[in-house]
């Protein structure tokens, strides 16, 4: 795919750029506060711009390098990576990205824009339902004493399978690790804050590999990526503060409601 000679950003107008700014901020908050927030960036690019599936995924995935770095630094500062179990889990998730990312990029190359929207709608609905289910069960509501505990249900094999699936989906849709990683890890009994921390680290590696793959195809709108990355990183800092200061339950329910509400719109081609 040839490099864009003009960024789609400059054709959006004030209304379009304002929408993307707000979506980027919300995405960043969701990434570090409850995990499944990065999909909003893919949704925004798909719904607001005329970019192809490859350009949507490639442009979105670039931004998750920045959000992943900011999120990882934040959780290092708050102590989650002092635990050996969290570091081991993050290492496995990062390592499996080297296999999952190429698979996701290959699938993206064989999907039409309409098919991309349908798959994105299905994924969005599934994640929204999983978040609802997780909150209904009360997952992630752990005490400070439990936050660093390892989950006996999460073996290295299960962590590797989660890492592979997350990396493939991340490359296909241009989403960061936290969106899928956090719900899946919590479902296996990993406490919320260690799950968020490990997912941020996976996002750096997975998004970096995805950026290399899409850049090789010329499938990144760089001005657009820079424009949406800045509010996303600001949102990550805000979300990290929320995750430590207040229960994330209400925010998670709001996020799930928004995802489920958007799913039909995406599945019908954003029309």
Residue 211: the pLDDT is 95
Residue 269: the pLDDT is 65
User: Per-residue pLDDT tens for 120-133?
Assistant: 889 888 888 877 87
What share of the chain has pLDDT > 90, as a percent? 39
User: Per-residue pLDDT tens for 63-105?
Assistant: 889 888 988 998 899 888 988 889 999 999 999 999 999 999 9
Instruction: List the single range of 34-48, 51-65, 76-90, 208-222 with lowest mean pLDDT.
Output: 34-48
Residue 212's Cβ-count burial label (10 Å; 0-12, 13-18, 19+) is exposed
Is 20's pLDDT higher than 60?
yes
DSSP 34: T
The separation between the first and the last C-alpha atoms of the chain, rounded to the nearest angstrom, is 26
User: Per-residue pLDDT tens for 192-216?
Assistant: 788 888 998 999 999 999 999 999 9
Is 247's pLDDT higher than 80?
no
User: Which residue in 165, 142, 141, 122 sits closest to 265, CA to CA?
Assistant: 122
Average pLDDT of the segment spanning 37-48: 86
123's tokens = 């994924």
Q: How far is CA 121 from the centre of its chain?
A: 15
245's tokens = 């200061």
DSSP 36: T
CB atoms under 10 Å from CB of 172, counted, come to: 27
Residue 2: the pLDDT is 43
Residue 1: the pLDDT is 41
Distance CA 24, CA 135 (A): 24
Are 199 and 178 in contact by the 8 Å Cβ rule? The answer is yes
Distance CA 172, CA 102 (A): 9
Distance CA 48, CA 137 (A): 35
Are 31 and 67 in contact by the 8 Å Cβ rule? The answer is yes
What share of the chain has pLDDT > 70, as a percent? 87
161 or 188, which is more confident?
161
Are 125 and 260 in contact by the 8 Å Cβ rule? The answer is yes
Residue 3: the pLDDT is 44
Rounded mean pLDDT of the chain?
83
Residue 135's Cβ-count burial label (10 Å; 0-12, 13-18, 19+) is buried
Distance CA 211, CA 214 (A): 5
Distance CA 185, CA 181 (A): 6
Residue 15's Cβ-count burial label (10 Å; 0-12, 13-18, 19+) is exposed
Residue 224: the pLDDT is 93
Are 63 and 229 in contact by the 8 Å Cβ rule? The answer is yes
Q: Domain limits of the chain?
A: 13-267
Q: Quickly list H helices, the chain.
A: 13-33, 39-48, 53-77, 84-108, 113-137, 156-173, 177-187, 192-216, 222-245, 249-267
Are 215 and 58 in contact by the 8 Å Cβ rule? The answer is yes
């Amino acid at each position: 795919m040839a490099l864009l000679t003009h960024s789609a950003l400059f054709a959006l107008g004030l209304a379009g750029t304002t929408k993307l700014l707000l979506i980027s901020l919300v995405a960043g908050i969701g990434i570090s506060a409850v995990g499944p927030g990065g999909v909003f960036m893919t949704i925004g690019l798909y719904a607001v711009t005329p970019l192809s599936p490859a350009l949507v995924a490639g442009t979105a995935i670039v931004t998750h390098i920045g959000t992943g770095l900011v999120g990882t630094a934040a959780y290092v500062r708050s102590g989650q990576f002092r635990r050996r179990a969290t570091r081991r889990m993050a290492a496995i998730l990062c390592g499996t990205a080297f296999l999952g990312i190429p698979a996701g990029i290959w699938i993206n190359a064989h999907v039409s824009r309409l098919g991309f929207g349908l798959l994105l709608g299905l994924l969005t609905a599934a994640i929204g339902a999983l978040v609802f289910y997780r909150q209904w069960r009360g997952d992630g509501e752990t005490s400070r004493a439990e936050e660093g505990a390892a989950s006996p249900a999460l073996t290295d094999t299960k962590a590797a399978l989660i890492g592979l699936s997350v990396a493939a989906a991340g490359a296909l849709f241009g989403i960061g690790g936290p969106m899928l990683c956090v719900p899946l890890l919590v479902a296996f009994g990993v406490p919320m804050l260690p799950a968020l921390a490990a997912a941020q680290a996976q996002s750096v590696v997975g998004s970096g590999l995805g950026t290399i793959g899409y850049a090789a195809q010329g499938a990144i709108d760089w001005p657009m990526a820079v424009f949406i990355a800045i509010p996303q990183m600001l949102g990550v800092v805000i979300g990290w503060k929320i995750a430590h200061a207040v229960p994330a339950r209400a925010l998670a329910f709001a996020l799930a409601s928004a995802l489920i509400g958007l799913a039909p719109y995406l599945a019908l081609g954003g029309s």
